Structure 1
Amino acid sequence: MKVASTGQSFNFFSLLSGPLDAPRMSDSSEQHQPSAASQDGYVVVARRYRPKSFDELVGQDHVGRALVNAIETGRVGHAYLFTGARGVGKTSTARIFAKALNDPGGPTGNPDQETDVAQAIDAGEDVDVIEIDGASNRGIDEIRSLRANVGVRPSRSRYKIYIIDEVHMLTQAAFNALLKTLEEPPEHVKFIFCTTDPEKIPITVLSRCQRFDFAPVEVSKIVARLKEICAAEGTEADDTALELIARRAAGSMRDSQSLLEQLLSFSGDQLTAETVHQMLGTADDERLHALATAMAARDAASALSQLDAAVDEGVDAGRLAEQLLGYFRDLMAVTVGCESSMLRHTSAGLYDELSELGKRWGLQTVLAVVGLIDDTLVRIRHSVYARVLLESTLIQICHLPDLQSIADLAEAAKTLPEGARLSTTRSVAPETPGSLGAESKKKAPAVSPDSAAANSAPTPSTAANVPRIDDAHAASPPVSGNDGESSSRSEAPASVPAAAASAAATASPPVPAGSLSGKELWARALQDMDPMTSTLATSVEDVSIDESGQVVMTFPAKAGLAMGRCDKPVHRQEIVESLRRLTGRDHQVIIKASTKAVAEDKPVAKAPQKSRVQWMREVEANSLVQSCKEVFSAEVTKIDLPRNDAPRR
Structure 2
Amino acid sequence: MALLTGNHPADDSAPEAMTTGNYVVVARRYRPQDFQQLVGQPQVSQALGTAIHTNRVGHAYLFTGARGVGKTSTARIFAKALNCVRGPTTEPCGECDICQGIAAGSDVDVLEIDGASNRGIDEIRQLRSNVNVRPSRARYKIYIIDEVHMLTTQAFNALLKTLEEPPEHVKFIFCTTEADKIPITVLSRCQRFDFAPLQAQAIVDRLQHICNLEGVTVEPQALQILARRANGSMRDSQSLLEQLLSFSGKQLLAADVHRLLGTAQSGRLAAISRALADHDAATALGLLDEALRQGVDAGQLAEQLLGYLRDAMAVHLGCSTDLLLSTEATDADELRQLGDQLGLETVLAAAQVLDQALVRMKQSTQTRTLVELALVRIANLQQLQSLPALIAQLQSGGPISLPTAPAVARPAQSLAPVARDSQPSGPPMNQARPTPAPQPPVPPPQPAVDQKKTTDVAEPLNDEPAAPQDEVPWDDQMALSAWRQVLSQIQDMTSDYASRAESVATSGPNQLVARFRKAYTHAKETCERPERRQRLEQGLTELMGRPIRVEFQLLPDEPQTVVAAPRPPQTAIRRRQRIREVERNLLVQQAIVSFEAEIVNVIDPPVSADDATEGATDVVVAPTAE
Does the alignment reach a TM-score above 0.5?
A: yes
Which residue of the other structure, out of 302, 306, 310, is the alignment partner of 2:283? 302
1:259-278 aligned within 5 A:
259-278=240-259
Q: Cα distance, 1:205 vs. partner?
A: 0.7
Rounded Cα–Cα distance in structure 2 between residues aligned with 1:374 and 1:97: 41
* Compared CA separation, residues 506 and 382, structure 1 to 2 (3 A): closer
Please give the root-mean-square deviation of Cα atoms over the aligned residues, in Å: 3.7
- After TM superposition, the structure 1 stretch with the greater mean CA deviation from structure 2, 318-327 or 274-283, is 318-327
**TM-score (structure 1 length as normaliser):** 0.62
Which residue of the other structure, out of 287, 299, 322, is the alignment partner of 2:303? 322
Q: Cα distance, 1:396 vs. partner?
A: 1.6
Which residue of the other structure, out of 119, 128, 131, is the alignment partner of 2:109? 128
Question: Do residues 249 (structure 1) and 230 (structure 2) align?
Answer: yes
Gaps of at least 5 residues in structure 1 are 7-28, 429-442, 451-478, 508-528, 532-649
Question: Do residues 498 (structure 1) and 497 (structure 2) align?
Answer: no
* Compared CA separation, residues 503 and 305, structure 1 to 2 (3 A): closer
Matching residue's letter, 1:488: P
Matching residue's letter, 1:446: P
Structure 2 counterpart of 1:186: 167
Which residue of the other structure, out of 25, 47, 69, is the alignment partner of 2:50? 69
Question: Do residues 488 (structure 1) and 475 (structure 2) align?
Answer: no
Rounded Cα–Cα distance in structure 2 between residues aligned with 1:314 and 1:277: 9
- Per-residue displacement from partner, 1:443-495 (whole Å, max 9, x unpaired)? 99638799xxxxxxxxxxxxxxxxxxxxxxxxxxxx99757344334654489
1:45-444 aligned within 5 A:
45-411=26-392
Rounded Cα–Cα distance in structure 1 between residues aligned with 2:283 and 2:222: 28
| Contact 1:480–1:486 (CA under 8 A) maintained in structure 2 | no
Aligned partner of residue 403 in structure 1, secondary structure: coil
Q: Cα distance, 1:218 vs. partner?
A: 0.4
Matching residue's letter, 1:204: T
| Contact 1:444–1:505 (CA under 8 A) maintained in structure 2 | no
Aligned partner of residue 386 in structure 2, secondary structure: helix
Matching residue's letter, 2:382: P
* Compared CA separation, residues 495 and 389, structure 1 to 2 (3 A): farther
| Contact 1:481–1:487 (CA under 8 A) maintained in structure 2 | no
* Compared CA separation, residues 276 and 490, structure 1 to 2 (3 A): same
Structure 2 counterpart of 1:513: none
- Per-residue displacement from partner, 1:589-626 (whole Å, max 9, x unpaired)? xxxxxxxxxxxxxxxxxxxxxxxxxxxxxxxxxxxxxx
Rounded Cα–Cα distance in structure 2 between residues aligned with 1:261 and 1:165: 24
Matching residue's letter, 1:364: E
Q: Cα distance, 1:411 vs. partner?
A: 4.0
Structure 1 counterpart of 2:439: none
Matching residue's letter, 2:64: T
Gaps of at least 5 residues in structure 2 are 4-9, 402-407, 413-441, 450-458, 483-503, 516-626
Rounded Cα–Cα distance in structure 2 between residues aligned with 1:279 and 1:221: 23
**TM-score (structure 2 length as normaliser):** 0.64
- Per-residue displacement from partner, 1:56-106 (whole Å, max 9, x unpaired)? 111101111111111111111110000011100000000000011112223
* Compared CA separation, residues 106 and 503, structure 1 to 2 (3 A): closer
Q: Cα distance, 1:146 vs. partner?
A: 0.1
| Contact 1:330–1:343 (CA under 8 A) maintained in structure 2 | yes
Structure 1 counterpart of 2:21: 40
Aligned partner of residue 55 in structure 1, secondary structure: coil
Q: Cα distance, 1:37 vs. partner?
A: 8.3
* Compared CA separation, residues 45 and 409, structure 1 to 2 (3 A): same
| Contact 1:175–1:205 (CA under 8 A) maintained in structure 2 | yes
| Contact 1:448–1:505 (CA under 8 A) maintained in structure 2 | no
* Compared CA separation, residues 371 and 303, structure 1 to 2 (3 A): same
| Contact 1:58–1:221 (CA under 8 A) maintained in structure 2 | yes
Q: Cα distance, 1:503 vs. partner?
A: 7.3
| Contact 2:109–2:140 (CA under 8 A) maintained in structure 1 | yes
Q: Cα distance, 1:259 vs. partner?
A: 0.7
Rounded Cα–Cα distance in structure 2 between residues aligned with 1:324 and 1:153: 58
Rounded Cα–Cα distance in structure 1 between residues aligned with 2:479 and 2:22: 91
Question: Do residues 446 (structure 1) and 455 (structure 2) align?
Answer: no
- After TM superposition, the structure 1 stretch with the greater mean CA deviation from structure 2, 178-187 or 261-270, is 261-270
Rounded Cα–Cα distance in structure 2 between residues aligned with 1:530 and 1:314: 56
Aligned residues: 437
Q: Cα distance, 1:42 vs. partner?
A: 2.2
Rounded Cα–Cα distance in structure 1 between residues aligned with 2:505 and 2:249: 86
| Contact 1:325–1:373 (CA under 8 A) maintained in structure 2 | yes
Rounded Cα–Cα distance in structure 2 between residues aligned with 1:213 and 1:102: 24
| Contact 1:235–1:270 (CA under 8 A) maintained in structure 2 | yes
Aligned partner of residue 21 in structure 2, secondary structure: coil
Structure 1 counterpart of 2:594: none
Aligned partner of residue 446 in structure 1, secondary structure: coil
Rounded Cα–Cα distance in structure 1 between residues aligned with 2:391 and 2:192: 49
| Contact 1:83–1:214 (CA under 8 A) maintained in structure 2 | yes
Rounded Cα–Cα distance in structure 1 between residues aligned with 2:64 and 2:392: 45
- Per-residue displacement from partner, 1:371-430 (whole Å, max 9, x unpaired)? 111111122112222112211221122122222233443345557889x9xxx99x99xx
